[in-house]
């Protein structure tokens, strides 16, 4: 049968009525589409006797149409939806959904079951539970808030608006005062709350302007073409007391400008501005999701914090913090961590972070990837972009004037001298995670006063373009580092380029420029945790007695190290090179090591390795070749133009010499340089 937007069913014989849906659901099914078409009032319907008797339409409230795949949820006046909710007739006995094939809506005397086709979309969208003409409308003015269509779900006291039912609520206006607050307190089994911002400026001079004390899920929606600004007080003196759904007495103090105890989602095509003077910008004790919108956050402490998790799939987000991290997820509950909580996932959006401490900080995992189109708010997935500056950015390495011919491709004089890390005692890392960091897509730029990318577990690159400049390690993993597939990682300045006890280069393109070791395979544990604590060892190196393993099986890799006791490739254990292309420029002028150095066995059985040095190399086949920055050097299989002059070369492809022409060879450039390129056959 065909159901238009305002068409209903007309049958003869029996008469039934259909109760309206009161709450919102955060799931999508054909039920959503159906209920969006329900008129504000439904005329009586007569059911032909043949249909009533055939069982196609149930006339007994105890009858429920079933199917093998149906999923049922029941909402009634004594449970999920209070009879005082907007648009719910007090006589409604309940509503039962079978989302795969049928809807059964019993009334006080009878019920009607309507067959609905299965949806082909898995995209999650909430049900609009009440038409815009009937939903509560809250307007702020000079003396506080006024409300239209309040029903029994909205109470107003001056500038405080309290919401006690699921549904959609529209807000607009401008107000400042010590009572300027939207407070949500609904049953956890109630439906979702939507706070539709349609041009609202709310400044709380004593507390938080938005406080979600209790709800199933809450959405803050910045409507298209509107600007919405929220500002909180610099101090907190108020304590809230309430009872949770388990009957437990709770006390709470708001810890953010937008503060929620339960799941919180930020979305909309409008502008959201958050000015957090006390602590965090946007905070939830559970899961925080950002779908889209133009979002600007200035926070004293953390910009975005989802204690359970943070997931960003879209939006243009600008975060500035003066004392905290940019984006943080920090649950310490062992069960939650085992279930994957305490993680940050970014699958879309354009994010700019300028933070006092870490840019991204997770007690579990950080994942940066291309999201599915079905997860994007507008149905179109785009790779994320991140620009992260921490602790004022990279500022104290590479500023010397010693050595080198300088100038070409970002090399030379500025990187002439080696030196210790100048990273701070506090954690000011670009991206930090306790268990793992996985980057498979996106464009990421990091300028950090501490490590650029740091994991207490593993770091894995399989795609995307990552650029790091730092005053400490470019990429650091306490357990293992993997570079694979289409990854493109460029460390343009660092103390050590990449460091981990287990280093695996299987593909991709990497480039590191360092004042100390380029690659350092060494075991140990960094002592930096949280926002305090220094780094042990040589400016961030591992402790004594460590071991390491370094393996190269594919990819294109470039390593440049400054003068001093520096190594291009260094392993506290073994080195195994069986594939890939590796260029090393090592300006060591003292100590031991050089272009290739290992404390264990070194095996070079394949691949193409070409090293340029000013001193002997401990490992690899070494040749005495005078080279300058004016010519390409190598063999018929590989050629590279060095950035300085020297007399020692390492080659795994035979005696190196001047290469007069690179015509006909394949060109692979490192980083964004147009002339830092290797030519291979």
Q: pLDDT by residue (tens digit) across 330-345? A: 999 999 999 999 999 9
pLDDT for residue 563: 79
Q: Looking at residues 541-565, what average pLDDT do you find? A: 83
Using the predicted structure, report yes or no on whether residue 607 has a pLDDT greater than 50. Answer: yes
Contact 473, 514 (CB under 8 A): no
| 53: enclosing H helix or E strand | helix 49-54
Q: Is 199 left (phi over 0), alpha (psi -120 to 50) or beta?
A: left
pLDDT band at 375 (very low <50, low <70, confident <90, very high): low
Give the least confident one: 183-192, 383-392, 595-604.
183-192
Q: Which pairing describes strands 14-16 and 72-75: parallel, antiparallel, or unpaired? A: unpaired
Where exactly are the structural domains of the chain?
14-115, 137-390, 408-413+455-680
Using the predicted structure, report yes or no on whether residue 23 has a pLDDT greater than 60. Answer: no
Cβ neighbours of residue 78 under 8 Å, at least 6 residues apart?
none
pLDDT for residue 134: 85
Q: Give me the residues paired with residue 105 across strands.
A: 112
Q: Looking at residues 605-610, what average pLDDT do you find? A: 97
Using the predicted structure, report yes or no on whether residue 380 has a pLDDT greater than 60. Answer: yes
Contact 106, 62 (CB under 8 A): no
- Read off the tokens for 239: 């304590």
pLDDT for residue 132: 64
pLDDT band at 43 (very low <50, low <70, confident <90, very high): very low
As to burial, measured by CB atoms within 10 angstroms (0-12 exposed, 13-18 middle, 19+ buried), residue 119 is middle
More confident residue, 627 or 242: 627
pLDDT for residue 528: 38
pLDDT band at 565 (very low <50, low <70, confident <90, very high): confident
Percent of the chain with pLDDT over 70: 72
Rounded distance between C-alpha atoms, residue 244 and residue 239, angstroms: 16
Q: Looking at residues 347-376, what average pLDDT do you find? A: 92
> Of the candidates 274, 343, 269, 260, which has an alpha carbon nearest to the alpha carbon of residue 309?
343
pLDDT tens profile 403-450:
333 333 344 333 444 446 787 889 999 999 999 999 999 999 999 999
> Of the candidates 290, 294, 227, 230, which has an alpha carbon nearest to the alpha carbon of residue 264?
290
For 532, which DSSP code? B
pTM exceeds 0.95, yes or no:
no
> Would you mind telling me the total number of residues written for the chain in this entry?
681
- Name the most confidently modeled range: 16-20, 28-32, 159-163: 159-163
Give the least confident one: 54-58, 144-148, 288-292.
54-58
Using the predicted structure, report yes or no on whether residue 636 has a pLDDT greater than 50. Answer: yes
pLDDT for residue 53: 37
Buried b (16+ CB within 10 A) or exposed e, 196-206: bbbbbbbbbeb
pLDDT tens profile 65-93:
333 333 333 333 333 333 333 433 333 33
pLDDT for residue 378: 65
Contact 519, 472 (CB under 8 A): no
Q: Looking at residues 570-591, what average pLDDT do you find? A: 90
Rounded distance between C-alpha atoms, residue 679 and residue 660, angstroms: 12
pLDDT tens profile 225-278:
999 999 999 999 999 998 887 788 989 999 999 999 999 999 999 999 999 999
pLDDT for residue 566: 85
User: Could you tell me the CA-to-CA distances from 495 to 230, 478, 528, 618 in Å, in that order?
Assistant: 41, 17, 16, 21
pLDDT band at 51 (very low <50, low <70, confident <90, very high): very low
Q: Looking at residues 208-229, what average pLDDT do you find? A: 97
| 352: enclosing H helix or E strand | strand 343-355
Using the predicted structure, report yes or no on whether residue 472 has a pLDDT greater than 70. Answer: yes
- Read off the tokens for 311: 């997931």
Rounded distance between C-alpha atoms, residue 379 and residue 381, angstroms: 7
The backbone torsions φ and ψ at residue 382, rounded to the nearest 5 degrees and listed phi first, read -130, 145
Rounded distance between C-alpha atoms, residue 300 and residue 282, angstroms: 11
pLDDT for residue 145: 98
Q: Looking at residues 88-100, what average pLDDT do you find? A: 36
C-alpha torsion 537→538→540→543, nearest 10? -30
Rounded distance between C-alpha atoms, residue 346 and residue 334, angstroms: 23
pLDDT for residue 423: 75
Rounded distance between C-alpha atoms, residue 316 and residue 290, angstroms: 10
pLDDT band at 469 (very low <50, low <70, confident <90, very high): very high
Percent of the chain with pLDDT over 90: 65
Q: What is the mean pLDDT of the chain?
A: 80
More confident residue, 116 or 144: 144
């Amino acid at each position: 049968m065909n159901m238009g937007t305002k068409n209903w069913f007309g049958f003869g014989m029996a008469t039934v009525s259909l109760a309206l849906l009161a709450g919102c659901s955060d799931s999508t099914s054909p039920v959503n589409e159906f209920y969006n078409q329900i008129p504000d009032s439904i005329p009586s319907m007569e059911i032909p006797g043949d249909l009533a008797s055939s069982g196609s339409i149930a006339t007994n409230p105890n009858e429920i149409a079933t199917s093998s795949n149906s999923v049922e949820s029941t909402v009634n006046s004594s449970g999920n939806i209070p009879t005082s909710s907007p648009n719910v007739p007090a006589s409604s006995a309940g509503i039962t959904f079978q989302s795969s094939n049928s809807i059964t809506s019993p009334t006080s005397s009878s019920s009607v079951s309507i067959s609905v086709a299965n949806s082909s979309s898995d995209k999650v969208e909430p049900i609009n539970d009440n038409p815009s003409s009937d939903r509560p409308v809250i307007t702020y003015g000079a003396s506080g808030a006024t409300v239209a269509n309040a029903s029994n779900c909205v109470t107003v006291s001056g500038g405080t608006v309290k919401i006690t039912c699921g549904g959609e609520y529209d807000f607009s206006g401008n107000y400042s005062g010590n009572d300027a607050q939207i407070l949500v307190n609904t049953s956890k089994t109630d439906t979702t709350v939507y706070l539709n911002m349609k041009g609202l400026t709310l400044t709380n001079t004593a507390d938080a302007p938005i406080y979600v004390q209790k709800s199933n899920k809450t959405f803050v929606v910045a409507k298209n073409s509107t600007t919405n600004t929220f500002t909180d007080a610099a101090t907190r003196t108020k304590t809230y007391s309430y009872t949770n759904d388990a009957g437990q007495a709770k006390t709470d103090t708001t810890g953010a400008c937008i503060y929620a105890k339960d799941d919180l989602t930020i979305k909309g095509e409008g502008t959201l501005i958050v000015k957090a003077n006390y602590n965090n910008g946007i905070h939830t004790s559970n899961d925080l999701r950002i779908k889209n919108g133009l979002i600007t956050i200035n926070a004293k402490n953390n910009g975005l914090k989802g204690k359970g998790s943070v997931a960003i799939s879209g939006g243009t987000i600008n975060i500035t913090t003066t004392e905290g991290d940019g984006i943080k997820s920090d649950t310490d509950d062992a069960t939650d961590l085992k279930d994957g909580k305490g993680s940050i996932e970014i699958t879309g959006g354009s994010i700019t972070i300028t933070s006092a401490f870490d840019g991204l900080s997770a007690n579990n995992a950080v994942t940066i990837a291309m999201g599915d189109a079905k997860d994007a708010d507008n149905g179109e997935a785009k790779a994320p972009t991140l620009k992260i500056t921490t602790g004022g950015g990279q500022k104290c390495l590479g500023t010397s004037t010693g050595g080198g011919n300088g100038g070409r491709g970002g090399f030379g004089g500025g990187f002439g001298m080696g030196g210790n890390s100048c990273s701070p005692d506090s954690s000011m890392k670009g991206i930090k995670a306790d268990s793992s960091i996985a980057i498979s897509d996106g464009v990421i730029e990091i300028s950090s006063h501490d490590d650029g990318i740091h994991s207490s577990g593993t770091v894995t690159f399989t795609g995307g373009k990552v650029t790091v400049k730092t005053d400490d390690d470019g990429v650091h993993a306490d357990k293992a580092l993997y570079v694979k597939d289409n990854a493109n990682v460029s460390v343009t300045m660092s103390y050590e380029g990449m460091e981990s006890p287990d280093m695996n280069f299987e593909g991709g393109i990497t480039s590191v420029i360092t004042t100390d070791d380029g690659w350092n395979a060494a075991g140990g544990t960094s002592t930096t945790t949280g926002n305090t604590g220094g780094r042990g060892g040589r400016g961030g190196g591992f402790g004594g007695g460590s071991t390491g393993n370094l393996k190269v099986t594919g990819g294109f890799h470039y390593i440049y190290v400054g003068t001093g006791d520096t190594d291009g490739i260094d392993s506290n254990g073994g080195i195994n090179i069986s594939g890939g292309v590796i260029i090393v420029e090592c300006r060591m002028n003292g100590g031991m090591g050089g272009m290739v150095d290992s404390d264990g066995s070194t095996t070079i059985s394949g691949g193409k390795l070409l090293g340029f040095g000013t001193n002997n190399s401990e490992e690899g086949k070494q040749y005495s070749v005078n080279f300058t920055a004016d010519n390409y050097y190598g063999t018929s299989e590989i050629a590279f133009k060095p950035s300085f002059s020297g007399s020692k070369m390492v080659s795994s492809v035979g005696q190196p010499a001047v290469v007069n022409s690179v015509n006909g060879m394949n060109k692979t450039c490192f980083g964004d340089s147009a002339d830092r390129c290797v030519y291979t056959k």
